[in-house]
Chain A
Amino acid sequence: MTLFQKKRRNILPGFGLSMGYTVFYLSAIVIVPLSMIFFNTIPMGWEPFIHAVTAPRVLASYRLSFSTALFAALFDGGVGLLTAWVLVRYRFPGRQFLDALVDLPFALPTAVAGICFATLYSPVGWLGETLTKWNIEIINTPTGIVVALIFIGFPFVVRTIQPVLEEVEQEIEEAAQCLGATRWQTFRKILLPHLFPALLTGSTLAFARGIGEYGSVIFIAGNLPMKTEIAPLMIMSKLDQFDYAGASAVALVLLVISFSMLLLLNAVQEWQQKEYR
């Protein structure tokens, strides 16, 4: 399982047509719109560009966006794996209900999620009240952003691991047990390497989604300059001030970093998969 289409030796007919379609589709839907960011930035000139993207507030927002997205993705990796495990391995009443629940973050308008979190974690909210007593602040902090991003990225991990886990033959685990492996050794040495590519894909998707997430975060983050302003918010606020070029500049950097990270992770996966195929 990889993020991008795999190269394949071609024995199927219609390569030209389907490849042409794919290129056209990607151009129309992805490349052309995104290249507008690039072309919007060019008239700006080099120095204003550097100035715009290295402003302390902007740099802080990049740091915040990438670090919170990373934390959320890591957390989702662990919890998503566990959830997928429970959904695949056990049969219990309400399993299908739980299974449907996983997709909810996909369907919900993210602003709704943001409002829910803001209410829940506010100092007078259900959870916020207790947490405040323990001196744990969620709202208006990076922790709050991570909480929101965990929610948003969660289904990606579960849904990528689930099918792979379902395919694992029971015999593989039985073989490991007969050879003297404990449950943990079986999981660690056999199952985890098997699930790892899916886990990586799922977490990468959650990570990518986290970087771009706007709606749910702004309600809980408080948007304090230098502290809880995420990069997409920087772009929005520049747009609000009719600084289109500046917004494009910030967006361009975000785009380049995100894309190189995805490319890198994809390369890691390709390399991981290569041997046993």
Chain B
Amino acid sequence: MGIELQNITKKFSDYTALDNISLNVASGELVALLGPSGCGKTTLLRIIAGLELPDAGKIILEQKDTTNLPPRKKNVGFVFQHYALFRRLTVFENVAFGLKVLPMRERPSRSAIQERVEHLLKLVQMDWAIKRYPSQLSGGQRQRVALARALAVNPKVLLLDEPFSALDAKVRQELRRWLRKLHDEIHVTSIFVTHDQEEALELADRIVVINKGRIEQQGTPQEVYDHPVNAFVYNFLGNVNVFHGRIKEGKVSLGTHHVDAPDELKHTEESASQAFVRPHEIGISKIRSAETDLTGTIQEVRIMGGQIGLNLACEGFEHPIDAEIPRELYVNLQLAKGEKVFVSLNRVRVFASDYEI
């Protein structure tokens, strides 16, 4: 096991940042800690690195209890959101830093350091900048150097704290793919923190969804996305339409629309519930294809690139519904603002109403 966290709890005065968190990360795995800001995910990462001490619990890195070790003895690579490169040192010196501060007898020779730094910079495709200073590099380039620096000391685990969030969208996406590829090459046990569900879904082997200091769900991106265990996870993993309805006799009524309640809620007595539909799981057509189709009017059309966003006022529904359809369909159906359409809710998820968005 690469990383084992046992019952980690951390309080800041009266506020509980982490509430009894236990988590295992296998060697060589790439795990995403996903959650809204303030959920405790960064605190957890900092605790693993030793930059914060937990109030209770144990951190075991590769079978070794490191709970009370200072960061410099943990052998953990940490990549910061804002790079945290040493401004007064060149790229070479930045990457070599971790090797040069080793005690004399463990320190590699000058030429070995040179070789390792060059190798790492090649790995992150920054070998051309070896003599530059951080201020001469762009954000994405700085983050690559920061990554090479963290890898220089052969860390047991690599921790990345929102590594791409300070970068612009295009670079972010590019670096994301590149990091996935790099991880497939070097297989270092890694945890990265993000609040961007797309990033987590695309990059991670496993996603751990955290909310208010607790783990809500963990699993592969597919599992988490397709089978969210509760309303929070469902909501956090993408855009949603929320309907407030009531469960009655195994059916949920949403306005004039009825759907089957999920098994675990079938036999509950009449109670409030929430139903969710993702915008891209809404069907739009000009012909009524099923009894349950809703009738709606297009109130607003948003061009979103490949997708077209529609804002629909539906009969029997208090709030407008957001739908996303492929551009092709939009063109084929010759839709426009003010048009009447039939709306089908293809995939409705119902959760008991114990969660407030």
**B30 CB-CB contact with A under 8 Å:** no
Q: Give chain B residues whose Cβ lies under 8 Å from the Cβ of A174.
A: 51, 71, 78, 80, 84
Q: When chains A and B are docked, how far (Å) is the Cα of A275 from the Cα of B153? A: 27
From B88, B134, B153, A179 is in contact (CB under 8 Å) with B153
The answer to whether B98 touches A169 (Cβ under 8 A) is no
Distance (whole angstroms) from the CB of A195 to the closest CB of chain B: 10
Contact with A along B37-72 (1 / 0, CB 8 A): 000000000000101000000000000000000111
**B87 CB-CB contact with A under 8 Å:** yes
Total number of B residues with any Cβ neighbor in A under 8 Å: 30
Q: Give chain B residues whose Cβ lies under 8 Å from the Cβ of A107.
A: none
A276-B88, A277-B135 given as contacts; is B82 within 8 A of A181 (CB)? no
Q: Give chain B residues whose Cβ lies under 8 Å from the Cβ of A177.
A: 51, 70-72
A169-B82, A276-B87 given as contacts; is B102 within 8 A of A178 (CB)? no
Q: When chains A and B are docked, how far (Å) is the Cα of A175 from the Cα of B72? A: 9
The answer to whether A180 touches B51 (Cβ under 8 A) is no
Interface-centre pick from A172, A177, A277 (highest chain B CB count, 10 A): A177
Q: When chains A and B are docked, how far (Å) is the Cα of A135 from the Cα of B246? A: 94
A194-B87, A277-B135 given as contacts; is B101 within 8 A of A179 (CB)? yes
Pick out which of these stretches binds chain B: A4-12, A69-77, A182-190, A233-241.
A182-190
Q: When chains A and B are docked, how far (Å) is the Cα of A152 from the Cα of B75? A: 47
**A163 CB-CB contact with B under 8 Å:** no
A residues 242-277 near B (Cβ < 8 Å) are 275-277
Q: When chains A and B are docked, how far (Å) is the Cα of A193 from the Cα of B75? A: 25
A276-B87, A276-B88, A276-B135 given as contacts; is B82 within 8 A of A182 (CB)? no
The answer to whether A181 touches B72 (Cβ under 8 A) is yes
Q: Give chain A residues whose Cβ lies under 8 Å from the Cβ of B77.
A: 178
Q: When chains A and B are docked, how far (Å) is the Cα of A10 from the Cα of B16? A: 52
The answer to whether A194 touches B88 (Cβ under 8 A) is yes
- Summed over the interface, the residue pairs from A and B with CB atoms below 8 Å come to a total of 71
Q: Give chain A residues whose Cβ lies under 8 Å from the Cβ of B51.
A: 174, 177-178
The answer to whether A179 touches B87 (Cβ under 8 A) is no
The answer to whether B86 touches A190 (Cβ under 8 A) is yes
Query: For residue B79, which residue of chain A has the nearest CB?
Result: A175
**B97 CB-CB contact with A under 8 Å:** yes
Q: When chains A and B are docked, how far (Å) is the Cα of A190 from the Cα of B146? A: 15
Distance (whole angstroms) from the CB of A186 to the closest CB of chain B: 9
**A115 CB-CB contact with B under 8 Å:** no
B residues 91-110 near A (Cβ < 8 Å) are 97-98, 101-102
Query: For residue A273, which residue of chain B has the nearest CB?
Result: B88
Contact with A along B134-150 (1 / 0, CB 8 A): 11000000000010011
The answer to whether B80 touches A175 (Cβ under 8 A) is yes
The answer to whether B72 touches A182 (Cβ under 8 A) is yes
The answer to whether A180 touches B98 (Cβ under 8 A) is yes
**B342 CB-CB contact with A under 8 Å:** no
Q: Give chain B residues whose Cβ lies under 8 Å from the Cβ of A189.
A: 97, 101
Q: Give chain A residues whose Cβ lies under 8 Å from the Cβ of B135.
A: 276-277
A-B contact pairs, 11 of them (CB 8 A): A175-B78, A175-B84, A175-B86, A178-B76, A178-B150, A179-B72, A179-B97, A180-B75, A189-B101, A190-B86, A277-B135
Please name 7 further chain A to chain B contacts, defined as beta carbons within 8 Å, in addition to the given A179-B97, A190-B86, A276-B87, sorted by A numbering: A177-B70, A178-B77, A179-B101, A181-B72, A181-B98, A194-B87, A276-B133
